[in-house]
Amino acid sequence: MNLYLDDQEEELRLRGNVPSDGWWHGYLREQAPGYALARRWAGIEQEAAALRAEIARLRLLVREQLRIFGPQARTATPSGCCAR
């Protein structure tokens, strides 16, 4: 998404450099808040996807530990932890 937005902004900048087409720069300034909002939304979606992937990875690790250590892994405490 960000690459698409970058391309669109660059195209408007280049169009504005053509003689008698400088108004494109003004149009780009008007559209800047929309581009910023789209970038923010895209970043939020990427962050959410990264978090979902990390949660899935952690679930796999827990499943693997339960497979290796069996049911006792659910109630076991690390040595020295919580000793009374």
* pLDDT single digits (tens) 1-60: 778 888 999 999 999 999 999 999 999 999 999 999 998 888 888 888 889 999 999 999
Amino acid in the structure at residue 55: I
Please name the residues in contact with 38: beta carbons below 8 A apart, sequence gap of 6 or more.
1, 5
Cα 20 to Cα 43: distance, rounded to the nearest angstrom: 36
pLDDT exceeds cutoff 90 at 70 = no
The conformational region for residue 41 under phi > 0 = left, psi -120 to 50 = alpha, else beta, is alpha
CA angle 33, 34, 40 (to 5 degrees): 90
Report yes or no on whether pTM surpasses 0.75.
no
The domains of the chain are located at: 2-71
